[in-house]
Structure 1
Amino acid sequence: MANSYSKSRIRQIVRRFGLIPLSSDSIASFYRKNAVVRVRTGTGTYAMKPFLRSVLLPSGTMDQMKTAANYVQLLMNCGFNYMPRWLASNTGKLWTLNQGKPFYVTTWINGKRLENHEDFENLGRALASLHITSRDSLPMNGPFYDHIRFWQYRDRLFRRRMTQTKPANRGIRQWRKRFGQSCIQFADRSWTELKSPEIVDLLGRERNRPALIHSDITSLNVIISDEGMPFIIDWDRVKLGSIYAEIASALMNTTQFNPDFMQSLLKGYEELHPLDRTERKLIAALYRLPREAWQATRFPNRTSSRTLLKLTEQSWPLRLKSMDLLEEWTLQAGD
């Protein structure tokens, strides 16, 4: 496999975490050919992963690695058990530097992907546990990442593209004609709701008492272990941010617009963290934002963008029904 790590380099890195590798193989993700290295040892199987810097943050790779490791350590200290255990290196840190790149090592989780309503209830409980544990038990210091402001920026770019010269690609033109205006209308409605006094007050209170969010909850980042427990993997982007943005993103990125799965995730979440009507209204408004369309139309000539727009088109009726479901869920909340 191109650009894979050599056996000697893998051995050099994992030995700093007290491991003696017997064998190893590179595992691909949706975006990277060598996203993680599975390392088998006499004491178990582990994941060796290069830390990936978020381009959405102004800080450098090392600062982001240190911040993520500090947050993970705080969660482990508080007994949060919905993530693989990170190993400490021979320096006592949860990461090591090799050839100028930071790496970390966790236990390897065997299991399956999200499949049924029970899995989604468990994921909801895991998310609620993350938000409650970090908000109520940890001394939170650091910048608050504003997903909503970033999404407003993406929406402005999308609207500019909608008014520019028609793209050369026929498929993009047809998609824009059929769905572009609807995406703008959905966003307009959400931005109007986000300006309501009760939501403005809610967001202000959240900034004053923030929680940690994983910020990349997708189907690929959730594993149901052989014992039936959900594990959230890939904590490179853990940060202080909005739990409501995280819930909306998790619903979009894991449930495939299946109403049973959506209801199960929310049910599991509210077993630990009940949500009032304003909170539900905020989640529904954030869910309605056409974030996939914003992403796909940034680079319309890319094959991945055309594929994403096609998937958006194919799932359009399901998306509308999922928005209606959240509207009903909002109305069901007590005052």
Structure 2
Amino acid sequence: MTNSYTKTRIRKITRHFGLIPLSSKTFASFYRKNAIVQIKTESGTYAIKPFFRNLFLRSSTIHQIKTTANYIQLLMDSGFSYMPKWLTSNSGKLWTLNQGRPFYITDWIKGRNLENQKDFEEIGRALATLHTTSSRFLYTKGPFTPRQIRTWQIQDRLFRRRMTKAIQANEQNHGWYKKYGKHCKMISDRAWADLRKPEIVDLFEKELNRPALIHNDITSPNVIISDDNQLFIIDWDHIKVGSIYVDVAKTLMNTTQFNPDFIQSLLKGYEELYPLDRTERKLISSLYGLPREAWQATRFPNRPRSREMIDIMEQTWLLRLKAMDLLEEWTNQ
């Protein structure tokens, strides 16, 4: 897709939204070279985003974009202010098809990334607002947290098999496994034991009647503080009905960089709007401790991205352990 967004193609897409681009520029993301297109028009600056199907779901790309657009519409109708406005196409939908690929357009948010404790308090409030707002109009029931846990359990089992095989075969990365693999196993074992406790299992049952929308991919690059100091969460392609506890744990891991001040600020902001009891805190703490990066990185050990993830884990290992201790203290407060 090196030259997939020609000026002609961009004009065709924007025309469906009543826009005429004056100029355009393509930006890369962590995973895609042509992740987003910035267009400047007489009415403002916008972002064109291609929508990609989630390969873990059996549904089609069209079904997935329809579901995503419905959730986005519900949030916009409820006044949720922490995401860029999605534009409506001439057909009345929040997306359009071009060459078989769904595209959507949002306002372009100019600003900076998360920097200080105040920013992290605000991302906590944004996350809590998402969870509490969406729970008022959703009626879907399902084992939200247990479903995610089962997926992670499978990844953990595969990690352990790869670790054993690598050490026995004296593979190139066996040294990392010997140094950190056993620690990852110990951390996971402790988390799995906590997740089997009766009070946690009871919480799973209560969650069945409290469905909520989750962003499911809040990372540092996906949070922007605009020039007028408004916080925006971008890249809503993975929005779904799911576990708020998983959403909080993943956000903590993917944004705070194991900084204790940032962790405490995010949780403070979240609990201003969504107070958590001791069992809920314990669940988040246990989910946070799972070494998901190790599972992902060792799945394809020869890829540059995997090697980078392993290097980051080595550099931040002690910080990770201290962050886990901090969350354990938070649980017992």
Measured after TM superposition, the shift of residue 144 of structure 1 is: 6.3
Residue by residue over 1:275-306, the C-alpha shift from the partner in whole angstroms, topping out at 9 and shown as x without a partner, is 11000000000000000000000011112111
- Where does residue 179 of structure 1 map in the other structure? 180
**Equivalent pair of 1:144/1:210 in contact (CA under 8 Å):** no
Identity of aligned residues (%): 64
**Equivalent pair of 1:68/1:236 in contact (CA under 8 Å):** yes
Residue by residue over 1:101-146, the C-alpha shift from the partner in whole angstroms, topping out at 9 and shown as x without a partner, is 00000011111000000110000000000000001x2134487653
143 and 70 in structure 1: CA distance in 2 versus 1, 3 angstrom threshold: farther
User: Aligned partners of 2:12, 2:161: CA distance in 1, in Å?
Assistant: 50
283 and 304 in structure 1: CA distance in 2 versus 1, 3 angstrom threshold: same
- Where does residue 108 of structure 1 map in the other structure? 108
Kindly report which structure 2 residues correspond to 1:182-221, keeping only aligned pairs within 5 A, or say none.
182-221=183-222
**Equivalent pair of 2:69/2:94 in contact (CA under 8 Å):** yes
Instruction: Read off the aligned partner of 1:11 and give its amino acid letter.
Output: R
Which is worse superposed, 125-134 or 191-200? 191-200
- Where does residue 325 of structure 1 map in the other structure? 326
81 and 290 in structure 1: CA distance in 2 versus 1, 3 angstrom threshold: same
**Equivalent pair of 1:190/1:285 in contact (CA under 8 Å):** yes
Residue by residue over 1:149-191, the C-alpha shift from the partner in whole angstroms, topping out at 9 and shown as x without a partner, is 2111111111111221436653x21110000011011111111
Gaps of at least 5 residues in structure 1 are none
Corresponding residue pairs, total: 330
Which is worse superposed, 197-206 or 266-275? 197-206
- Where does residue 32 of structure 1 map in the other structure? 32
DSSP-derived class of the 1:104 partner: strand
Instruction: Read off the aligned partner of 2:137 and give its amino acid letter.
Output: L
- Where does residue 137 of structure 2 map in the other structure? 138
User: Aligned partners of 1:20, 1:301: CA distance in 2, in Å?
Assistant: 44
Measured after TM superposition, the shift of residue 314 of structure 1 is: 0.7
User: Aligned partners of 1:275, 1:329: CA distance in 2, in Å?
Assistant: 11
Which is worse superposed, 138-147 or 76-85? 138-147
DSSP-derived class of the 2:192 partner: helix
User: Aligned partners of 2:54, 2:245: CA distance in 1, in Å?
Assistant: 20
Confirm whether residue 12 of structure 1 aligns to residue 37 of structure 2. Answer: no
User: Aligned partners of 2:20, 2:141: CA distance in 1, in Å?
Assistant: 36
TM-score by length of 1: 0.96
DSSP-derived class of the 2:103 partner: strand
**Equivalent pair of 2:39/2:46 in contact (CA under 8 Å):** yes
User: Aligned partners of 1:206, 1:173: CA distance in 2, in Å?
Assistant: 41
- Where does residue 157 of structure 1 map in the other structure? 158
User: Aligned partners of 1:248, 1:35: CA distance in 2, in Å?
Assistant: 26
User: Aligned partners of 1:328, 1:101: CA distance in 2, in Å?
Assistant: 47
User: Aligned partners of 1:214, 1:72: CA distance in 2, in Å?
Assistant: 11
DSSP-derived class of the 2:262 partner: helix
User: Aligned partners of 1:254, 1:49: CA distance in 2, in Å?
Assistant: 23
**Equivalent pair of 1:219/1:254 in contact (CA under 8 Å):** yes
**Equivalent pair of 2:114/2:225 in contact (CA under 8 Å):** yes
DSSP-derived class of the 2:109 partner: coil
